[in-house]
Each structure stands twice: as structure tokens, then as C-alpha cells.
Amino acid sequence: MSVTPDDVKRMAKLSRLGVEESELPALVNELNGILQHMEELQSANLSGLDGDLDHLATPLRSDDFHADVLHRSVGDFAPSMRNGFFLVPRLTTHDSEGATSVGGSNSE
């Protein structure tokens, strides 16, 4: 299996990473260089295992845990807030609707 430039673009989109076109060739080479070593895993003999991987799952606890009180308020480090809500740019599909993200506290 070999990574293509379209794969990298798709992965960048999924992971919300902005990747320039000029970066694609190097990233494709680097990822393929790493992934070629992963083919070794196909040679592993797993016959001795039960096949059940559930024991690897992170243990869960009941949903009755109370988080620690924060030592500083969220507003101290949030990029932009208004009335206790995090302010973000509007989706470009909603340009003409609702309030803007300009005018929140701590905004850049």
C-alpha cells in the first residue's frame, strides 16, 4: 500500500491540518518511507493468541466523577469569549447570519 498526494490531502482534511501543495511531495515520500517498514507486521505469527483484543481497551469508570476546581478561569486562557461562550469564526456557509466573532474578550 502506498500513500499518494491525494491521500495526504484527505488525511490533512480529516485531521484539520493545513498542508500546502508544495509540501505534498516531501510528505508523501516521508510517509511512504515509514509505512514500508510496517509491512513487516504482516509476517507476524498470531496463531498463539486468543484473537481477542478487548483487553487492550482503556478501562472505563462510572460517570460520577467530579472534576477538580480549576485554579484559573477559562477566560484567562481562552482566545475569545463572550458571555461565557467560546467565540469562533462563523462557518463560511453562514456568512450573513447571526453575530460575528469580533468583539469577544481576549480576541486577537
The site for another protein (CB under 8 A) is made up of 1, 3, 7-8, 10-12, 14-19, 27, 30-31, 33-35, 37-38, 40-42, 44, 46, 48-49, 51, 53, 55-56, 58-61, 65, 68, 70-74, 76-80, 86, 88-92, 108
Shortest distance in whole angstroms from residue 43 CB to another protein: 8
Residue 55, φ and ψ in degrees, nearest 5 = -70, -15
Q: Which is nearer to another protein, 46 or 97 (CB)?
A: 46
CB neighbour burial string for 51-83, b if at least 16 within 10 angstroms, e if fewer:
eeeeeeeeeeeeeeeeeeeeeeeeeeeeebbee
Amino acid at 35: L
The set of cell numbers assigned to 66 is: 467530579
Shortest distance in whole angstroms from residue 39 CB to another protein: 8
Q: Which is nearer to another protein, 25 or 79 (CB)?
A: 79
